[in-house]
Amino acid sequence: MADLLRLASRARSELLQASPWAWPYEAALISAEALPQHGSDELRAIYAARREATLRRLGSGGAAWNAWAANMTSLRRKAGDDPALARLWQLLAGVELVDETFDGEFDVAGFHFPGAARFAGSAFGSDAWFTDARFSGPVDFRDATFGRDAFFERARFAAGADFGGVHFKRSAEFRELSCAGTLGFVEAEFSGSVWFRSSFFEGPVRFRGARFGWEAGLGDCRYRGPADFAEVDFADNAGFENAIFEQSATFADTRFCQAAWFSGVQFRGEAVFDRTRFLGRRHFDGIAVSVPQTPVATQAAVLERLRAAFSG
């Protein structure tokens, strides 16, 4: 027992050494029981100090940031299953830049975020670069605004990402993205073109109620989990060609105002197009539909009729 206590004490000390801004709050951080409750003055002071440290670290560049991230990742392994140490690590490794305003270019291309990352409600006034960024914890961009171009090519989300209600005022690039958890764009607004081509979605994808003002490229993607595109409005061309939907794909009450490309799509689960409106050209040539022969045989028949109707 004494050895375990010494190891825990050493791990806490190493965590605080990696986050020197936290030393003034050592007494409140040394155990899970001593951590202040949400909303307390002490916790607000801790969050404020963490915010300032995060901004300073961002300003130091990618090499310094990733050295810190690598150290924090190593310390997470040392913390093991100790709940108090795990909670301390989560607080020290987390990035919380909520309701911030970034007027200049925001560049974290290639950065590794070892813990949770929250940018909810923040406004990015210039180009935002998240190219090749790695997020090991959950990510929250809810209700953020991107005033200019947003770049997320080859970004890696290990624990999901929530972009619900986000407004992309110009183009958004998500090519070759991968997400191991739930990826949410519920009621997001894309005022410029958006491209997700060649992306890999391990978990559920939720675009319900999203608005696409310009071209949307969602083809050549693999959707391992359920894909929800219900009640989406595509004002310009929408491309899903050669995508693979391994589970359900829902386009109920969705509106395609221009060309809709589904050529070569594989629907390996249930495909739902109830009340879908195609106001422009539609392309369903070469699609593959495979629905298990169970009570959903009726749905399979519907899909066969859909394929025949849209093949021309």
Measured from the Cβ of residue 17, the count of other Cβ atoms closer than 10 Å reads 12
Lowest-confidence pick of 14-28, 94-108, 245-259: 14-28
Overall average pLDDT of the 80-84 stretch = 83
Binning pLDDT at 50, 70 and 90, where does residue 294 land?
very low
Tell me the three state secondary structure of residue 238: strand
Lowest-confidence pick of 113-127, 223-237, 261-275, 277-291: 277-291
What pTM was computed for the model? 0.88
Closest by CA position to 113, among listed 97, 126, 128: 97
Beta carbons of 201 and 224 less than 8 angstroms apart: yes
Q: List, in order, residues 6 or more apart from 308 with CB less than 8 Å away.
A: none
Residues 165 and 209: their CA atoms lie apart, in Å, by 9
Query: What φ, ψ does residue 14 adopt, rounded to 5°?
Result: -65, -40
Beta carbons of 247 and 268 less than 8 angstroms apart: yes
Measured from the Cβ of residue 40, the count of other Cβ atoms closer than 10 Å reads 12
Instruction: Write the pLDDT tens digit of every residue in 34-71.
Output: 455 555 788 889 999 999 999 999 999 999 999 999 99
Check residue 217 and give its pLDDT: 98
Tell me the three state secondary structure of residue 95: strand
Tokens 């959707």 correspond to what residue?
223
> How many angstroms from the chain centroid is the CA of residue 70?
21
Residues 141 and 164: their CA atoms lie apart, in Å, by 7
Instruction: Write the pLDDT tens digit of every residue in 210-245.
Output: 999 999 999 999 999 999 999 999 999 999 999 999
For residues 232, 235, 237, 242, the Cα torsion angle rounded to the nearest 10 degrees is 0
Tell me the three state secondary structure of residue 132: coil
Instruction: Write the pLDDT tens digit of every residue in 138-171.
Output: 999 999 999 999 999 999 999 999 999 999 999 9
- Go through 114-124 and write b for each residue having 16 or more CB atoms within 10 A of its CB, e for each that does not: bbbbbbbbbbb
Check residue 32 and give its pLDDT: 44
> Can you read off the two tokens belonging to residue 247?
């589970």
